[in-house]
Amino acid sequence: MLVELLLEPLRYGFLLRGLAAAVLIGVICAVIGTYVVLKGFAFIGDALAHIAFTGIVVAFLAGFVFYLGALMAAVAAGLGIGLIQRRVGLRTDTAIGILFSGIFALGIVLMSVGIKTYTVDLFSYVFGDILSVRPSDLLVILGLGGLVLVLIGLLYKELLFVNFDPVAAEATGLPAGALQLFLLTLLSITVVASVQAVGVVLVVAMLVTPSATAYLLTDRFHRMTLLGAGFGALSAVIGFYLSYFLNVPSGGTIVLVASALFALVAVLSPRRGQLRLLVRG
Amino acid sequence: MQTEPQPSAVTTSELVIVADRLTTGYYREPVLQEISFAVPRGALVGVIGPNGAGKSTLFRAIVGLLKPWQGRVLVGGRPARPSPDIAYIPQIHTVDWAFPVTVWDVVMMGRYPRLGLLRRPGARDRELAERALEQVRMQDFREKPIGALSGGQRQRVFLARALAEEPSILLFDEPVSGVDAPTQHFIFELLEQLCAEGRTALVASHDLSCVAQRFSQVLLLNRRMFGFGPPERVFTEELLNQTFDTHLLLLRYGDRVIVVESPEDGTSAC
Amino acid sequence: MPKGVQRPMARESWMAERLRCSYLLALVVAVLLAACSRTAPPPREASPATTPAAGNQVRVVVSLPVFISLVEAVGGDRVRVSSLVPAGTDPHTYQPTPRDAQALAEADVVFVNGLGLEGWLGDLITAAGSGAPVVELAEGLQTIPEEPHQGTPETTPGQSTPQGEHTHEHGAGNPHLWLDPDYAIEYVRRIAQSLEEVDSGGASTYQTNAERYIAEIQAFDAWAKGQVQRIPPARRKLVTFHDAFPYFAEHYGLELVGVIVLSPGREPSPQELAQLVDLIRQQGVPAIFTEPQFNPKLAETLARETGVKVLELYSDTPPTGEDYIGMMRRNVEHVVEGLE
């Protein structure tokens, strides 16, 4: 009976693809989200998503695949942000704020100025469209996401050391700067893989919320990564089914479920003290 | 880790760190100017100066994270560059203590640079990490999250991570600030023992009241070098006042010297 | 629905009252115009004067590109027409530019559709301080309630909601009346009448032109009805991107099975799409229709799921170089091609 209910939406290929994309994105975002949460990169993730939008607009105007435009814009922005971070001067968040709002605004203006005949509905990328994930999109998400997961797995110990204690790590000869840029590049790739399904606005939630929930439950880094991935996938599945049965849009519902899981864990967690640490640090 | 004692190394004057008219800093502002000194193998060197004197900058130059603008820094006869052979223990406030890692995870990080890319820690790495934990008497805390440790325990864990790295040179930045007296003494006993075994240690401190006597050599630093040599020769009222640019009171009780800074400086006496 | 569009008859007294108490609006206009003069390219209408008598031509501003050809057909050389919403942009979510305020301020007459389609327009007209009459082309015509598909029966399309103070923006009925040629003819009559009121010297021209264009529309309509007859009755089923085609469907005897998004900008839920997939399969709908101003991805998703064709229909913007009749001809051709 329950099984039938759960199988009901999966009779449709596009819903199956949507669910698969949501789960994949939930897992990938949460894995990279471990670093985003611990290093306070949420704002950077937000910036990258907005900049990716401009990349999409430019790609459309120039007539090449939107993934390429988004990827180039986001990776360039990620490297730019990495360079800003390494040069003090302006506060980093201010510099990033200027950079990303400017570039996003450029995307909006380009969209209305450049597309004369018919405005293709590029705004759908702002809110995402998980129900129109094509088989090719799913392959792209799988490919980019798999790349991110494999690279993070291979450099696990180096990334851990560099993010925990960058000065000491660099002193031992680890390329801390390069690893930081590498991490930002992976973040950019993740954002691009996610943005067309969940949208510019909700990518940040998928990056931050499941990982933050995991943080409340463990004090081991690898467990935080795995638990975060679990919460990301769980939010995707529950949110997807809820949106089907309650007849509401999927992207928003998935994020709402992730937020609800966080709230639940924050209230019930035996390590609620961690919440204080997270808010403070 | 080199366990065999090398008393000969202490007596010979093999120079492991040489700074020759070193000038360096950040952006366009020089922090250190014209620093020259030479550290023999087995020395326990105190780098003493007020906050902002450039102690951490000097360490970064010795580790090779900062390039000399003028002059040079030689480590083991070669220009300084980052290497697992030099363990740099930064000030504990530079690290995010909310990070979800345990004592064991942190000590294990000391092995990462020796492992190289893609290699996982093996039995020998675990053995070395275990021994390092024992050396700092933290073996009972191995599963504790680092956020739950006291300041002194954090310093011990950092020291254990450095030991697991099997370095020949240790650079320890402010190991006694915010640390209880028993831990201070424990850390210095361990450092003395390590130096007796042939390692070289540089310890930065702005607080010289308790530890001053334990160094084999002292470098007085405040953007320039104000003195370098054995403590009994360098700890003079004149040099200390020049270095700290303030009025210090030197109290002598027999062979002990106690230095008291003017109270408005806020430096704690022990 | 904004008042400025809603009550054109009370416009002048209302406007005076509004303007008296509103320095803020004046400020808005000033800022808009200043921004325009600095950032926007020179306006299409070069005449700087703001009095209606300054140019020889009647300056007409319409809300949607599709109305340009209707006004031009009636006005001929006596009018100069510009559209606020640029070609290929969704009027539901359009964001006006400073130049729109300027165009409104300089207009002699403004034609809008009404019925809540141009929700952003009321504030803009207020802000622009335009004294030109604002004519709602759909005002008072019989409407079909919105969302007649998916369970809601098409009952009593007769009574249009009164245009009162408390009317909800979407309660007024589906606004896309012009896609039914009979209503388009009514639009043409209203355009002719309003142009006469603004420019009495051209009355006979307007009358003649209007009659000629109405005849053209009627000729097209006869052809179109014949074309639709080519579609087997069981296949006369329409699924469109948004709810723009109920009048079109009713006029040509097509059954409107469903729409992909209930209103533009509103993300459909997975269940809504699943139900639409079921409907398309059960009813054997041969094709689904997108509109060029919307992202085709959702329609492509449905097409991939159900294996039907995707074709385009035009609602607010005629294809380049086409007038209203040309646009409608394309629509009919595409419908026949998709469903035949």
Strands B200-205 and B169-173: parallel
Number of H helices, E strands in chain B: 9, 12
Structural domain of B67: 7-85+167-265
- CA dihedral sign of residues B40, B42, B44, B47: positive
- Give the number of domains in chain A: 1
How many CA atoms does the CB half-sphere of C335 hold within 13 Å? 31
Q: How far apart, in whole angstroms, are the C-alpha atoms of residue A227 and residue A269?
A: 14
Instruction: State mean pLDDT over C163-176.
Output: 54
Q: Is residue A63 in some structural domain?
A: yes
When the pLDDT of each residue in chain B is averaged and rounded to a whole number, the result is 84
Q: Is residue B151 in some structural domain?
A: no
Q: Is residue B120 in some structural domain?
A: no
B238 or C309: which leads in pLDDT: C309
C-interface mutation test, from A5, A10, A19, A118, most C Cβ less than 10 A away: A118
Quote the pLDDT of residue C236. Answer: 93
Q: Is residue B221 in some structural domain?
A: yes
Q: What are the DSSP calls for B41-64, one per residue? A: TT-EEEEE--TTSSHHHHHHHHHT
**B155 band by pLDDT with thresholds 50, 70 and 90:** very high
| Residue spans of chain A under pLDDT 70 | 86-90, 113-124, 127, 270-281
**C77 band by pLDDT with thresholds 50, 70 and 90:** very high
Q: How far apart, in whole angstroms, are the C-alpha atoms of residue B42 and residue B10?
A: 5
Structural domain of A53: 12-199
Question: What is the least distance, in Å, from the CA of C339 to any CA of chain A?
Answer: 24
Cα–Cα nearest to C225, from C244, C205, C251: C251
Using the Cβ of A190 and the Cβ atoms of chain B, whether some distance falls under 8 Å is answered with no
Using the Cβ of A223 and the Cβ atoms of chain B, whether some distance falls under 8 Å is answered with yes
Nearest CA in chain B to A87: B27
Q: For A26-37, how does the pLDDT look when each residue is reduced to its tens digit (9 = 90+)?
A: 999 999 999 999
Question: Pick from A133, A134, A247: which is nearest to C269 by CB?
Answer: A247
Task: Confirm if A250 and A243 have CB atoms less than 8 A apart.
Answer: yes
Provide the greatest CA pair distance for chain A. Answer: 62
Question: Pick from A155, A172, A224: which is nearest to B165 by CB?
Answer: A172
CA C333 to chain centre: 21
- DSSP assignment, residue A219? S
- Which range, of B148-152, C85-89, C185-189, averages the lowest pLDDT? C85-89
- Beta strands (DSSP E) in C286-333 are 287-290, 309-312
**C255 band by pLDDT with thresholds 50, 70 and 90:** very high
Instruction: State mean pLDDT over C280-289.
Output: 93
Q: How far apart, in whole angstroms, are the C-alpha atoms of residue B165 and residue B88?
A: 10
Output the domain CATH number for residue A159: 1.10.3470.10
Own/partner contacts of B248-257, CB < 8 Å, gap of 24 or more, are: B256/B213, B257/B212, B257/B213
**C45 band by pLDDT with thresholds 50, 70 and 90:** very low
Q: Is residue A256 in some structural domain?
A: no
Q: What phi and psi values does residue C218 have, to the nearest 5 degrees?
A: -65, -40
Instruction: State mean pLDDT over B199-212.
Output: 80
Quote the pLDDT of residue A60. Answer: 78
Question: What is the least distance, in Å, from the CA of B210 to any CA of chain A?
Answer: 26
Q: How far apart, in whole angstroms, are the C-alpha atoms of residue B160 and residue B166?
A: 10
B145/A161 touch (CB, cutoff 8 Å), yes or no: no
Q: Is residue A58 in some structural domain?
A: yes
Residues 174-213 of B with CB under 8 A from A: none
Q: Is residue B241 in some structural domain?
A: yes
Strands C237-240 and C255-259: parallel
Q: How far apart, in whole angstroms, are the C-alpha atoms of residue A280 and residue B1?
A: 39
A118/C317 touch (CB, cutoff 8 Å), yes or no: yes
Q: Is residue A2 in some structural domain?
A: no
Q: What is the pTM of this model?
A: 0.76
Output the domain CATH number for residue B17: 3.40.50.300
A15/C297 touch (CB, cutoff 8 Å), yes or no: no
Q: Is residue A90 in some structural domain?
A: yes
Quote the pLDDT of residue A195. Answer: 84
Number of H helices, E strands in chain C: 12, 8
Single-letter code of the amino acid located at B119:
R
Q: At what angle do helices B123-135 and B151-164 cross, to 10 degrees?
A: 140
Quote the pLDDT of residue B123. Answer: 93
Q: What are the DSSP calls for A10-61, one per residue? A: GGSHHHHHHHHHHHHHHHHHHHHHHHHHHHT-HHHHHHHHHHHHHHHHHHHH
Task: Confirm if B249 and B78 have CB atoms less than 8 A apart.
Answer: no
Neighbouring C-beta atoms of residue B126, cutoff 10 Å: 15
Q: What are the DSSP calls for B156-183, one per residue? A: HHHHHHHHHT--SEEEEESTTTT--HHH
- Which range, of A221-235, B50-64, C81-95, averages the lowest pLDDT? C81-95
Q: Is residue B104 in some structural domain?
A: no
Residues 93-132 of C with CB under 8 A from A: 93
Question: What is the least distance, in Å, from the CA of C95 to any CA of chain A?
Answer: 10
Quote the pLDDT of residue C51. Answer: 38
Q: For B3-19, how does the pLDDT look when each residue is reduced to its tens digit (9 = 90+)?
A: 444 444 444 468 999 99
- Give the number of domains in chain B: 1
- Which single residue is written with the structure tokens 């000969």? B8
Q: Is residue B222 in some structural domain?
A: yes
Single-letter code of the amino acid located at A76:
A
What ipTM was predicted for this assembly? 0.85
Residue environment code for C274-284, b if the CB has 16+ CB neighbours within 10 A, otherwise e: bbbbebbeeee
Question: What is the least distance, in Å, from the CA of C10 to any CA of chain A?
Answer: 35
Quote the pLDDT of residue A205. Answer: 92
Residue B42 pLDDT exceeds 70: yes
Q: Is residue B57 in some structural domain?
A: yes
C217 or C96: which leads in pLDDT: C217
**B260 band by pLDDT with thresholds 50, 70 and 90:** low
- Which single residue is written with the structure tokens 């083991």? B76
Q: What is the 3-state secondary structure (H, E, C) of B182-216?
A: HHHHHHHHHHHHHHHCCCEEEEEECCCCCCHHHCC
CA C128 to chain centre: 21
Q: Is residue A211 in some structural domain?
A: no
Quote the pLDDT of residue A114. Answer: 61
Using the Cβ of A124 and the Cβ atoms of chain C, whether some distance falls under 8 Å is answered with yes
Strands B15-26 and B70-75: antiparallel
Residue B209 pLDDT exceeds 70: no
Quote the pLDDT of residue C147. Answer: 56
Quote the pLDDT of residue A8. Answer: 85
Q: What are the DSSP calls for C238-289, one per residue? A: EEESSS--HHHHHHTT-EEEEES-SSTTPPPPHHHHHHHHHHHHHHT--EEE
Angle, CA of A103, A106 and A112, to the nearest 5°: 150
